[in-house]
Chains A and B, each alone.
Chain A
Amino acid sequence: MVVTAERTPLYDEHVRLGAQITNFGGWLMPLQYTSIREEHRAVREAVGLFDLSHMGEIRLKDDAAAQRLLTRDLTPLRTGRVQYALLCNDDGGINDDVLVYAVPEGGYLLVVNAGNQDSDFDWIRSHTPDGAVFNVGREWALVGVQGPGAVALVQRVTSSALGTVKYYAFIEGRVADVACLISRTGYTGEDGFELFCGNDDAGRLWRALLEEGQADGIRPAGLGARDTLRLEAGMRLYGNDMDDKTNPLEAGLEWTLSLDKDFIGRDAIVEARQRGLDRRLVGLKMLDRNIPRHGYRVLRDGQPVGVVSSGNVSFTLGYNIAMAYVLPALTEPQTRLDIDVRGRASPAEVVSLPFYKRPHPK
């Protein structure tokens, strides 16, 4: 079998900008353009521009199916609003984490992880009446504009009033004369927008934002910076920090569960809670210079008590950080643990998530 990696409509832009390309979830994506450190800093201090077109979009027109598939009650979600929710399997494991958009045409648009889009679609279709679900991810491009300068930048190239678009809300409008769904969401811990547009318009939108953003210090930012940014913001990465064997309670995602409604996985989750959890996700701050990485063991007095799910340097905070699954008794902040880094115990302490919160959230 020949597996061909897919390209987003912005692939040629990345090559032209000299990006290092990597295969992520079956997609050829920019890992970095110049330096992950510099791209990370641009997002924290100015503006970063991301190609997120690899993300999947699934149009689900059946409200009852949506309520049954998604962990969070959708009835309070008004048109024009977005919420974070999970798709769970029958055992309560996480099939994917998704953003749910209540669209004006009725029903929902789900934004799902790139590598899961086809399996999510199959899963949803198997629980939905015929003709009510559509896999539209390859018809849409998605451009992220993130950072303290992002809102002002996008406002300069649209006549829509963006001040009225609250966090986790969206409108339809034109940005740089491109028809977009303008969503005030992101995966960086900064303010900004994610702009959905048709594939054919993506290049025009990308180039217009890069040009207009010069004055703001904009930089194109790759998946490397996206990962270090989301880690600082305490956002879980599907595949690293959770998978189909992870119970949402273990992942610290109880706030995404509406346990008083009936959804797939609910009973297994309730049962697991009654039985008691074996592990819980915590934040760790390294107390030396070693870098914690996915898969490294967590120790307490030399005994294994858990495993790192994500870890790296925090450029913003100036020390190294990790998310890890540990025994539930060891999750109190300031608990001293060690990470097994190449056979040596590196000291770390439990801290609350997120590691980083932007100074002036709006």
Chain B
Amino acid sequence: MPDLSGMRFSESHEWVKRDGETAIVGITEYAQSQLGDVIYLELPTVGQQLDAGGRLGVIESVKAASDLYSPVGGEVADINQELKDHPEYVNQDPYGKGWIIKLRAIKDNPKLLDQKAYDDFVKGKSPS
């Protein structure tokens, strides 16, 4: 089980982890399992400004295209270039090498959930 301490989560199933002045953003295990095989990501360019809860890009799986939202505000500092040739990393390791973007000049978002609250939120969604 990956170490999720220090991560916070959005109700649209992105995670964010602060790392000094920057923040790393990805999608959750639940999100990747619901999307299925990821085949393409349409991502912003470095330097672009994102709002907390604003549209970050699009993630395409075999099943469907889905919008991605930025859990916090900030400026795009880096994008995961590896995903261009290996979008399946998002499925294989969503909290690790499947990270999506890094942001700087972070504007925090008080509406994010901690791990326990997010787990409860996901449990509330599934009937089983």
Contact = CB atoms under 8 A, between A and B. Distances in A.
Contacts of B88: 37
B65 A291 contact: yes
Nearest to B91: A35
Contact of B60 (A31, A35, A291): A291
Interface string A282-323: 000000011101000000000000000000110000000000
26 contacts: A20-B36, A31-B36, A31-B63, A35-B36, A35-B37, A35-B91, A36-B37, A36-B63, A37-B37, A37-B62, A37-B88, A224-B62, A224-B63, A228-B62, A289-B84, A290-B40, A290-B42, A291-B40, A291-B65, A293-B64, A312-B62, A313-B39, A313-B40, A313-B62, A342-B58, A342-B65
A224 B61 CA distance: 11
A113 interface: no
A309 B95 CA distance: 35
Contact of A32 (B36, B39, B58, B65): B36
Contacts of A35: 36-37, 91
Interface residues of B, number: 14
Contacts of A291: 39-40, 60, 65
A203 to B, nearest CB: 23
Identify whether the interface residues of B are mostly helix, strand, loop, or mixed.
mixed
Nearest to A20: B36
A31 B58 CA distance: 22
B50 to A, nearest CB: 17
Contacts of A289: 40, 84
Given A35-B37, A37-B37, A290-B42, 12 more contacts: A31-B63, A35-B36, A37-B88, A224-B36, A228-B62, A289-B40, A290-B40, A291-B39, A291-B65, A293-B65, A312-B62, A342-B42
Contacts of A224: 36-37, 62-63
Contacts of A293: 64-65
Nearest to B88: A37
A224 B37 CA distance: 10
Interface in B15-34: none
Nearest 6 CB-CB pairings of A with B: A313-B39, A36-B62, A37-B37, A291-B60, A36-B37, A289-B40
Contacts of B62: 36-37, 224, 228, 312-313
Nearest to A35: B37
Interface in A179-232: 224, 228
Among B39, B42, B84, the one with the most A-chain Cβ atoms within 10 Å of its Cβ is B39
Nearest to B64: A293
A36 B36 contact: yes
A20 B39 CA distance: 19
A224 B36 CA distance: 10
B91 to A, nearest CB: 7
Nearest to A225: B62
B84 to A, nearest CB: 8
A20 B60 CA distance: 18
A342 to B, nearest CB: 7
Interface string A24-38: 000000011001110
A31 B34 CA distance: 11
Nearest to A224: B62
A82 B88 CA distance: 40
B37 to A, nearest CB: 5
Among A32, A37, A224, A290, the one with the most B-chain Cβ atoms within 10 Å of its Cβ is A37
Contacts of B36: 20, 31-32, 35-36, 224
Interface in A59-107: none
